[in-house]
Structure 1
C-alpha cells in the first residue's frame, strides 16, 4: 500500500511514517498544502491521510480538488477538530473516514487497512485471480494453493499487478509505486526487469500461468485477456 500523509506536526508525521513503513507500506509525507498538491499531481497513491489545518491552506480543499479531478484514492481525515459538524462536512465532500487526534497508531493502522480493503478489493482480506491468491495482511501469495517464497519487492509487484489487473502500468508507475521518493536516485529501470524475471520463474515453478504482458517501450499489463 502506498500512502501520502499530509500533516504539519513534524513529530506526528515522523511517528506515522515510521509505523506505516514498519508495517511494510510505502509512506510519503507532505508537511504543507503546496507540497501535498505537488505530490498528488505527479504520483498515484492508494490512501491519502489529510490534516485539515495546514500552515498554508486547508486540507478540505485538497479533498475537494481530488474529487473534482476524479482521482481514485482512499481518504482519511486526521484532525484535532472533534465537532460533529466538522466530521459530517469532511465526509460529505468525499473523505472515507475521520479520526480525531490524539489517536493510537494501532487504531490508525487498522482504519487505513480497512479503507484500502474496501477500495482495492471490496472488503475482502484476500485477493483472488484465477489460480493466484494473495493475503495482503500476512504478505503471503499462493499459486495453486502453494505458498510462494517471495522477497518483499516481488510481493509488492504481484500485489500491485493483481490489484490493477487488466490495466496498463507504465514502468515509471511501477517503479514509483515500489520505491516512492527513493526512485529519484535510480538511473534506469533494470531493477524492474530483474524482479519480474524472478517473479515469473517462481510462478512457473508453482504451476502458475504467466499473466505479465510486456507492452513495448511503455510498461506491463497483468491480464488473462488477449
Structure 2
C-alpha cells in the first residue's frame, strides 16, 4: 500500500514516514505545493496525508485540483489549523478525514487504515476472492483455512490484484504501486516477472482457486 505525505515540516515528515514504513507502507513525499500537485495528478495512492499550509500554495487547493480532475485520491488532512471552518471546508471539498497537529502516530495509523478500508475494501476488514482471503491490517494471506507466507512484494502485488479481480492491470501501474513512483524511470520492468512467477507458484502449491494471467506486452490479470 502506497501513501503520499505532503508536508513541509521536515522532522514531522521523517517521523511519520519512518513510522509508516515500519508498518509496511510504501511512502512517497512532497514538501511544497507544486511538487504535491504533480504527484497527485501523476500517480495513484492508497491514502494522501495532506498539510494545509505549504510553501507555494494551500493544501485545500490541492483538494480542489483533485476534484476538478476527478482524481479519486483518499485524503487525510493533517494541519495545525484546528478551526471548525477549516475542518468543514476541507471535508466539503473532498477530504475523507481531518487530524489536528500534534497527533499520536498510533491515531494517525488508525485513521489511515480506516480511510483505506472505506475506499478500497468497501468497509470490510478483509478482502476475499474465491478461496483466498487477505487481512491487510495483519498482512495475512489465507487459502481456505491455511496461512501462506509471501514476501513483501508478493503480498503487495496480490493485494493490488485482489482488489481488481478479472481486470487487466498494466505492468507500469503495478510497478509504481508496489515499488514506488520513480520506478517508471527504470530501463525495464522485468523484475516484476520474477515476483509474480514466485507468487503464482505459491498459490498453485497451496491449491488456490485463483491464478495470475500474463498478457504479453501489457500486464497481468487475476483470474
Bin of the TM-score, shorter chain as denominator length: over 0.9
For residues 122-137 of structure 1, what are the structure 2 equivalents within 5 Å? 122-137=122-137
Q: Which residue of 1 aligns with 2:140?
A: 140
How do residues 1-226 of structure 1 correspond to structure 2 at under 5 angstroms? 1-181=1-181, 183=183, 186-223=186-223
| Distance in 2 of aligned mates of 1:184 and 1:211 | 26
* Range moving further from structure 2, 177-186 or 66-75: 177-186
Shift of 1:179: 1.0
The one-character-per-residue Cα deviations of 1:61-103 (angstroms, maximum 9, x if unpaired) are 1111112222122111011111111111110111000000110
Residue 184 (structure 1) shift: 5.5
2:21 is paired with a residue whose SS is helix
Deviates more, 1:3-12 or 1:214-223: 214-223
Equivalent-residue separation in structure 2 for 1:140 and 1:33 (angstroms): 37
Which deviates more, 190-199 or 63-72? 63-72
For the aligned residue pairs, the C-alpha RMSD in angstroms reads 1.3
Q: 1:210 to 1:130 in 2, by over 3 A?
A: closer
Provide the TM-score with structure 2 as the length reference.
0.96
Gaps of 5+ in 1: none
Runs of 4+ in 1 over 3 A off after TM superposition: none
State the number of aligned residues.
223
Gaps of 5+ in 2: none
Quick check: 1:200–1:210 contact (8 Å CA) kept in 2? no
Q: TM-score, normalised by structure 1?
A: 0.94
